[in-house]
């Protein structure tokens, strides 16, 4: 999923990536805000199988259309009506809060169609990004929820130090990349969650919670295997009470009775089915990171303490 504030360079990046020979076969879904399908016109002819959502914000009114668009793509794919693809890139409107879209993408109906969310990439304009952060909370949310950030228009900025610092304050764990006119190796942008090192992130965020623009990031590591029978109700209770303010919860957990570590993800009120982790992680060390919007640090500490007591003796 590709987000980024209005004019941050989403279409430019997408077009450049689609032209790149190293790009895996990709389908594109574009959500537009407004009547005129400009982006579609830009991309048509570059890749087959483009699906365009109707006008409106994908994060609210047309949420069900996103699911329909994914189903349509999947059905066309299995019937051999479109060229095969291994990826879908969803470009969202610049004004969107990514939360509801992330929820849809991680939902069971979408997973049943054999899609798996690879991650959220947010573009940040190196020249105007900071101003957008000051004025539009959506821009802050887009950064807070991202797995990776691509700084754009760095050719126009005299220095990127301040914007990098602002991004780091909101989301200290995101990988930060940079591109000029969308020129960047596609695999860097596509790394998604696999590119993140949740272990060191959780460690770094254990004692120094980050607060910026109302966003709180806090982490903890746990030694030993956790009891899922205890962990799941703790997480569900936390989401029930704090889901409105929870942007993301990410964890890699070693569970009792499960050989390989599993990844756990939550967005707002939704907890997603746990997946085995492909990447190598430190044996026996579980990590959890919570990112919230005006979320009380004491409440997060309480969750972390609860999880610590779910470590098996
Ligand atoms: N100089 C320079 N211009 C860029 C760069 N990236 C994008 N632009 C320009 O910035 C403008 C906006 O880029 P778009 O790709 O349309 O941005 P967008 O995020 O898709 O915009 P919306 O669809 O309105 O949200 C265009 O004029 C691009 O040519 C860059 O790295 N350097």
**Ligand 1 atom closest to Cα of residue 38:** 23
107 occurs within a structural domain: yes
Cβ–ligand 1 contact at 31 (below 6 Å): no
pLDDT of residue 197: 67
Whole-number pLDDT of residue 211: 75
Mutate to test the pocket of ligand 1, among 1, 3, 12, 16 (most ligand atoms within 8 A of CB): 12
Asked if residue 123 and residue 101 are part of one domain, the reply reads yes
C-alpha to C-alpha distance for 249 and 303, rounded to whole angstroms = 11
- Domains identified in the chain, total number: 2
Does one domain contain both 27 and 129? yes
123 and 23 within one domain? yes
User: Is ipTM strictly over 0.95?
Assistant: yes
CA angle 3, 161, 138 (to 5 degrees): 25
Q: Is the pLDDT of residue 42 over 70?
A: no
| pLDDT score of 276 | 81
pLDDT bucket at 154, cuts 50 / 70 / 90 = very high
Does 142 contact ligand 1 (Cβ within 6 A)? no
pLDDT over 70 at 222, yes or no? yes
Q: Name the band, by pLDDT with cuts 50, 70 and 90, for residue 226.
A: very high
Look at residues 138, 136, 135, 154 and name the one whose alpha carbon lies nearest to residue 146.
138
* CB-based contact 197:172 (threshold 8 Å): no
State CA 162 to chain mean position distance.
23
Instruction: For residues 222-245, give the mean pLDDT.
Output: 95
Domain that holds residue 48: 2-194
Gap between the Cα atoms of 2 and 148, Å rounded: 10
pLDDT value at residue 194 = 62
Structural domain ending residue among the three candidates 153, 172, 194? 194
Mutate which of 2, 5, 11, 126 for ligand 1 pocket (most atoms within 8 A of beta carbon): 11
Q: Is the C-beta atom of 160 inside 6 A of ligand 1?
A: no
> 81 with 175, same domain?
yes
Strands 246-253 and 262-267: antiparallel
* 212 shares a domain with 189: no
Looking at mean pLDDT, say which of 16-20, 28-32, 81-85, 232-236 comes out highest: 232-236
Q: Are residues 189 and 216 in the same domain?
A: no
Domain end marker among 160, 194, 228: 194
Q: Do 80 and 180 sit in the same domain of this protein?
A: yes
Indicate if 160 and 205 belong to the same structural domain. Answer: no
pLDDT at 151 over 90: yes
Q: Tell me the pLDDT band of 36, cut-offs 50, 70 and 90.
A: very low
Minimal-distance CA residue to ligand 1 atom 32: 153
Q: Is the pLDDT of residue 44 over 60?
A: no
- Asked whether residue 313 is assigned to any structural domain, the reply reads no
Residues 115 and 207 in one domain: no
**What CATH number is attached to the domain comprising 212?**
3.30.1220.10
189: left (phi over 0), alpha (psi -120 to 50) or beta: alpha
Q: Confirm or reject: Cβ of 42 under 6 Å from ligand 1.
A: no
Neighbour-count burial for 268-301, b at 16+ CB within 10 Å, e otherwise: bebbbebeebeeebeeebbbbbbbbbebeeebbe
- The rounded Å distance from CA 7 to ligand 1 centre is 5
pLDDT bucket at 63, cuts 50 / 70 / 90: very low
Is any ligand 1 atom within 6 A of the Cβ of residue 94?
yes
Please identify, among 162, 194, 226, the residue that sits at the C-terminal boundary of a domain. Answer: 194
């Amino acid at each position: 999923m590709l987000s980024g504030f209005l004019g941050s360079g989403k279409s430019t990046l997408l077009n450049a990536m689609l032209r790149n020979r190293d790009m895996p076969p990709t389908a594109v879904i574009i959500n537009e805000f407004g009547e005129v399908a400009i982006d579609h016109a830009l991309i048509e002819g570059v890749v087959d199988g483009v699906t365009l959502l109707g006008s409106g914000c994908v994060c609210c009114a047309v949420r069900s259309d996103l699911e329909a668009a994914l189903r349509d793509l999947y059905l066309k794919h299995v019937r051999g009506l479109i060229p095969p693809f291994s990826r879908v890139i969803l470009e969202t409107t610049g004004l969107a809060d990514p939360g509801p879209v992330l929820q849809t993408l991680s939902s069971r109906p979408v997973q049943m169609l054999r899609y798996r969310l690879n991650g959220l990439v947010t573009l940040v304009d190196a020249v105007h990004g900071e101003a957008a952060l000051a004025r539009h909370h959506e821009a802050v949310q887009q950064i807070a929820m991202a797995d990776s950030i691509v700084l754009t228009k760095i050719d126009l900025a005299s220095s990127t130090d301040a914007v990098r610092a602002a991004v780091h304050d909101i989301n200290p764990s995101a990988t930060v990349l940079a591109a000029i006119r969308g020129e960047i190796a596609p695999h860097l942008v596509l790394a998604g969650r696999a590119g993140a090192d949740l272990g060191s992130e959780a460690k770094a965020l254990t004692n120094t919670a980050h607060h910026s623009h109302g966003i709180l990031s806090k982490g903890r590591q746990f030694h030993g295997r956790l009891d899922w029978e205890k962990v799941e109700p703790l997480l569900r209770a936390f989401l029930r009470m704090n889901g409105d303010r929870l942007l993301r919860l990410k964890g890699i957990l070693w569970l009792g009775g499960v050989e390989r570590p599993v990844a756990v993800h939550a967005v707002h009120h939704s907890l997603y089915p746990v997946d085995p982790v492909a990447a190598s992680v430190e044996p026996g060390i579980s990590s959890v990171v919570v990112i919230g919007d005006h979320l009380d640090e004491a409440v997060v500490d309480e969750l972390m303490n609860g999880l610590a007591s779910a470590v098996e003796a």
